[in-house]
Structure 1
Amino acid sequence: MNRDTPPSQEKLATAVRLRADRARRAQRLPSVARNLGQIGILGWQIVIPALAGLAIGRWLDHRLESGIFWTAPLMLAGLALGCRSAWKWMHRQ
């Protein structure tokens, strides 16, 4: 600042500058909460289709009295679909 600037304005300008610097640094660094949230989303994107395949397979096996003939393949198909969905989501982020 220059000589004509009152000390209170200099303090205010310094505080504003420091706050702006902190905000810029915070935007560059990913937060722990954001990373945990993304891990949670990825987990659910994989688990929900697998559980849906499991439920449909169990229902079909119960209806058709076929042991686990439909349960295992539909669960694996749901798992594959969930992994593909998670992969695509990660590349969009």
Structure 2
Amino acid sequence: MTPPDDPLIRQVRLRHARHARWLREGEMSVGRRLAQIGVLGWMIVVPTLAGLFGGRWLDAHFGDGIFWTAPGLMLGLGLGGWTAWNWMNAS
């Protein structure tokens, strides 16, 4: 007898549920796939640009040259990548 929290059983049930949903709904249209790609791109671009502009604003405010721009850019890129990763792995 296998325990109810066995990871293999959870994955098999998840795979079965995904397959049943695919049989019900069918393949996604090209338009929907393109829309998902667009949303994914904006999920990365917007936080990256926000970090960039935030870093530039801090540099202008404190007069530090470009000291805060690189960390702001990296922070925004990291946040955008993390958000996109979570969105892609949600279903």
1:76 corresponding residue in structure 2: 74
Give, in whole Å, the separation in 1 of the partners of 2:27 and 2:52: 39
Q: Does 1:35 align with 2:33?
A: yes
1:61 corresponding residue in structure 2: 59
RMSD: 1.6
Instruction: Give CA-to-partner distance per residue, 1:29-72, whole Å, 9 cap, x none.
Output: 11100100000110000001001101110000011111110011
Give, in whole Å, the separation in 2 of the partners of 1:29 and 1:38: 14
Aligned residue for 1:29, secondary structure, equals coil
Letter in 1 for 2:55: G
- State which structure, 1 or 2, has the greater radius of gyration over its C-alpha atoms: 1
Count how many residue pairs are aligned between Structure 1 and Structure 2: 69
Give, in whole Å, the separation in 2 of the partners of 1:88 and 1:63: 34
Q: Please give the TM-score of this superposition, normalised by the length of structure 1.
A: 0.69
Give, in whole Å, the separation in 2 of the partners of 1:76 and 1:47: 12
User: Identity of counterpart residues, as a percentage?
Assistant: 54
Aligned with 1:52 (options 38, 50, 69): 50
Aligned residue for 2:80, secondary structure, equals helix
Gaps of 5+ in 2: 1-22
Gaps of 5+ in 1: 1-24
Post-superposition, which runs of at least 4 consecutive aligned residues in structure 1 deviate over 3 A? none
